[in-house]
Structure 1
Amino acid sequence: MASSSVPLDPDKLTRELDWNLLRTFIVLAHSTSITEAADRLRLKQPTVSSALKRLEERIGKRLINRSPGHFELTEAGHLLHKEAVEIQGSILRLGTLMRDISDEVRGHVEIAMASHVVCPLFDEALRAFHEAHPAATLSINISASKDALEAVMARRASMAVCLVRKRNPKLEYARLFREFFGLFCGPPHPLFGRKDLTKADLAGQSSVSFVTDRLEDALRPVTLMRAEADLEDRVVGTSANLEEVRRMIIAGLGVGPLPVHVVRRDLEDGLLWQLPPYDNLPEIDVHLVWNPKAKVNRAEMAMLEMLLGKIRMTPIENRTYA
């Protein structure tokens, strides 16, 4: 392998670097061993080891520190992985871009969305978009907010609708709506149906929540609300999907947080019971996120402009769901 002190020749790297090596490296970066990466790629282990060796020789840097029980990206490996993911996203979008050349009025919009987004403004934008561009197609893929943001960064998704904790300077953000979280329990829970409750009644109760319900993550205000309620420290069930958190609460696994406006029907139907606190509930902003450097088709541009136009024309008070 070349010494780290030898500067890379950009022209030589451009001529010799094989995309297949980068594709293999992306899988290696998400694996815990060469064996696991080989299984995921459906290749033999020596083939993957050889690909990694060739890539390290071309880059002139060690990319993965590997020894028995240890498999970790180096600093150079982290940097290459970040760039390789962006390259992969551009390649994946080539098919859509080529299609637009022959048929400019058509295009596909891929939206990465956090689970169970309830936002009338977004629904209205979908309706208006379809009426204005009936030849365009659209797909909505549900995932954790972190995964949705990664999809936009890698240009696998046209845009995302999700929670945001720390902003990436390479992406653009617009607040789509604001929601408020409360604490709820299901019919099997001993606190269900009681109207004389205070926060003290929640002390020591088991809880369920979202995987992002952590002090360092997007649902930090919800984490603080749970802490103030003095719920049991151990969270017995977690999910990135709102529907599954709701399922665990209704099933009686424990007390859990949900957006108040989303579960209004469940409250009316007797599936959920709201618990203290009832005032000063934590507010969470849901954002529209897009990659300004992504090459977009006409449908993607139209969808983004329609959403941004509705956001600009609608005061935040009318996009706040209490």
Structure 2
Amino acid sequence: MSSTDSAEKLARDMDWNLLRTFVVLAKSRSITEAADTMRLKQPTVSSALKRLEDRLGKRLIDRSPGNFRLTKAGELLEKEAIEIHGAILRLSTLMRETVDEVRGHVQIAMASHVICPLFDNTLTEFHKTHPLGTLSIDISASRYAIDKVMSRQASIAICLVKDKNPALEYKRLFREYFGLFCGPSHPLFGLENLRKTDLAGHSTVSFVTDHMSEALRQVTLMRADADLEDRVVGTSANLEEVRRLIIAGLGIGPLPIHVVKRDIDDGHLWRLPPYDAPPAVDVYAVWNPKARLNRAEQAFLDMLLAQIDTTPMSEREYV
């Protein structure tokens, strides 16, 4: 049998529910966890994985003792399965739009607590120009926001970017600068003329993506340069929750300077060194050029890109 015939047979015989199950398995730490997520019994999920592996002739997940991770074949399949799953989910939306092409929904996947006047202006313009269009904003960690765009479950993502996926398009929306802060109960709160050496050994809180290999690498370097305690006592993917941990006094932590100006004025947070040359982090608009956008999605994307293109970068840097 030729490779073309084999591919056609696979497409004809494939049970797409197996791919849906595999998408959940790929993001889980065990078959039991995946079964709980899908509200199925563990043997049912195990059987589905075995059938998929038999159908493809490849081992997809290493399930040896103490291990549950994707094989190389599994990693490749996950990328394709996410995109296929997203395309199927969008079918119902596309069918609805054939009835009334004027209406459309824009699903925005966004990192937590994005403060950007340019983006807000786009929301205002979109609503005024297309009052029948609807929007929803789903807050999630940046990597999950990008997954949603890749799988076509979201129209656009507003998020941090670690590595650019060549299958997606990126446009820098704005740049923000991070500083280190402490809360009212911290011993350094309210002290003037502090130096970086004064921070040495203090406990720290931060974002779950505050690692050398992640998008907040510059923030990680800032914390290391301040010689803070290596052990991070509290983490969250949500900016509001990192802010809560800092104000509660668990430790010193990083936050975007422009986002917390009111907290500083209200006495909830205190800025710590370094005061000069704070690390810069870029926030991007990310979209999938292969996605078939409805009229509302395309209009919103066009408006946002126009706003970016006509606004100098100097006006999109927030300190």
TM-score band w.r.t. shorter chain: over 0.9
- In the alignment, structure 1 residue 25 sits paired with structure 2 residue 22: yes
- In the alignment, structure 1 residue 190 sits paired with structure 2 residue 187: yes
Q: CA RMSD in A?
A: 1.5
Q: For structure 1, which segment, 71-80 or 151-160, has the greater mean C-alpha deviation from structure 2 after superposition? A: 71-80
Q: Describe the shift of the 1:216–1:34 C-alpha distance in structure 2 as closer, same or farther (beyond 3 A).
A: closer
Query: Structure 2: how far apart are the matches of 1:35 and 1:205?
Result: 39
1:269 to 263, 266, 271: 266
Q: How far 1:95 moved relative to its partner?
A: 1.3
Q: Which amino acid aligns with 1:19?
A: W
1:319 to 311, 316, 319: 316
- In the alignment, structure 1 residue 66 sits paired with structure 2 residue 63: yes
In the alignment, structure 1 segments of 5+ residues that lack a partner are 1-5
Alignment match, 2:124:
127
Query: Structure 2: how far apart are the matches of 1:70 and 1:8?
Result: 35
Q: How does 1:1-322 map to 2 (within 5 A)?
A: 9-322=6-319
Secondary structure of the 2:28 match is coil
Query: Structure 1: how far apart are the matches of 2:164 and 2:260?
Result: 29
Q: For structure 1, which segment, 252-261 or 54-63, has the greater mean C-alpha deviation from structure 2 after superposition? A: 54-63
Asked whether the 8 Å contact 1:199–1:277 carries over to 2, the reply is yes
Once the two structures are superposed, residues 42-99 of structure 1 have per-residue CA deviations (whole angstroms, 9 ceiling, x without a partner) of 3333333332232222212222333444333222222112111110000111111111
Q: Which amino acid aligns with 1:256?
A: G
TM-score (norm 2): 0.95
Alignment match, 1:3:
none
Q: How far 1:7 moved relative to its partner?
A: 9.0
Query: Structure 2: how far apart are the matches of 1:110 and 1:24?
Result: 24
Asked whether the 8 Å contact 1:89–1:156 carries over to 2, the reply is yes
Secondary structure of the 1:24 match is helix
TM-score (norm 1): 0.94
What percent of counterpart residues are identical?
69
Q: How far 1:26 moved relative to its partner?
A: 1.9
Q: How far 1:8 moved relative to its partner?
A: 7.2
Once the two structures are superposed, residues 223-268 of structure 1 have per-residue CA deviations (whole angstroms, 9 ceiling, x without a partner) of 1111111111111111111101111111111111111111111111
Asked whether the 8 Å contact 1:8–1:60 carries over to 2, the reply is no
Query: Structure 2: how far apart are the matches of 1:264 and 1:107?
Result: 37
Query: Structure 2: how far apart are the matches of 1:253 and 1:44?
Result: 40
Once the two structures are superposed, residues 113-166 of structure 1 have per-residue CA deviations (whole angstroms, 9 ceiling, x without a partner) of 011000001000000000001001100011111111111111111110011121
Q: Which amino acid aligns with 1:124?
A: N
Q: Describe the shift of the 1:234–1:34 C-alpha distance in structure 2 as closer, same or farther (beyond 3 A).
A: closer
Secondary structure of the 1:252 match is coil
Q: Which amino acid aligns with 2:275?
A: Y
Query: Structure 2: how far apart are the matches of 1:232 and 1:40?
Result: 36
Query: Structure 1: how far apart are the matches of 2:230 and 2:31?
Result: 37
Query: Structure 1: how far apart are the matches of 2:265 and 2:21?
Result: 52
Secondary structure of the 1:9 match is helix
Q: For structure 1, which segment, 27-36 or 131-140, has the greater mean C-alpha deviation from structure 2 after superposition? A: 27-36
Secondary structure of the 1:184 match is strand
In the alignment, structure 2 segments of 5+ residues that lack a partner are none
